Structure 1
Amino acid sequence: MDREELLNATPEDSGAQKKQESPLVSLEKDLEFYSDTIKEVAIEIMVEGISNHPIFIAHQHVVSIGELILNREELNTEWSIQASTLEEFVEKGIINKEKKESFLKTYKKPETFMCVFVVVPEGANFIYYPYKKG
């Protein structure tokens, strides 16, 4: 699923006065706002040799993977962000060891895109979001 599909994935208007906005609209706004910080953390993870494949977890609840880097309550935003790595995702079984190679084939250049594991009540999915230019 690409970014556009996720952002436009809203429930059908069932006669309600106001169409429910997808939570991913607020996620895009927050990722735009967080972009520079996330990129700095991604570069740090790679430069320090922790991993060549940083993964960021976007959530609105509590998740038990990665390290909290951006707290929505402190920043008055909709989403919190945790920093993690491909290795931790494999270790915790979120990415099956057998699927690691196919995941790496789709993993986009971490200097250009943030890999975000979006956790919502309905489930979770990976998206790649481009960093802001300049």
Structure 2
Amino acid sequence: MAELKNDWVQLQTDVQPFRDQLAEAAETVVDEGVSNYPIFFAFNGTANEQVPGIFVTEIGTNRGTVWQLNITTLEELVAKTIIPPEKIDPFREVYKKNSESLCFLIVDPEGARFGFVAKE
């Protein structure tokens, strides 16, 4: 169970140098009217067509982890049944409370979970 938290803690640190780039990508999704709920899909592994979203960047670490970051939306995650319909409103509430942060869906061998990283 410690590793589950470790991946999330590490991701928060790993994305710090990329926050401006990621914030810009998230703002573009909102500004272009695509979604009010941009989400970064973060995983360690090879990209494939099963992964939601559009590739944004790859972040290598000194631990040998290479994060793949795609940007997706709440709507796409609902359409792909990653977020069940009954979780949409609770998700929106949490998202709004963290509106000054970037939303991540981290997927690793332990499972999938959401988290937020401050934009600044």
Q: Which TM-score tier does this pair reach, normalised by the shorter chain?
A: 0.7 to 0.9
* TM-score in terms of structure 2 length: 0.82
Q: TM-score, normalised by structure 1?
A: 0.74
Cα distance in 1, alignment partners of residues 108 and 84 from structure 2: 20
CA distance in 2, matches of 1:105, 1:68: 26
- Aligned residues: percent identity? 34
Consecutive unaligned residues in structure 2, runs of 5 or more: none
Deviation of 1:103 (Å): 1.1
* Distance in 2 between residues matched to 1:109 and 1:47, nearest whole Å: 20
Deviation at 1:131, TM superposition (A): 1.0
Provide the C-alpha distance between the structure 1 equivalents of 2:29 and 2:99, rounded to a whole number of angstroms.
11
Mapped partners of 1:113, 1:52: distance in 2: 13
Quote how far apart the aligned CAs of 1:58 are.
Answer: 1.1
**Structure with greater strand percent:** 2
Q: How does 1:1-134 map to 2 (within 5 A)?
A: 10=2, 22-61=6-45, 62=47, 64-72=51-59, 76-77=60-61, 78-108=66-96, 112-132=100-120
Q: Which amino acid aligns with 1:129?
A: V
Aligned length: 112
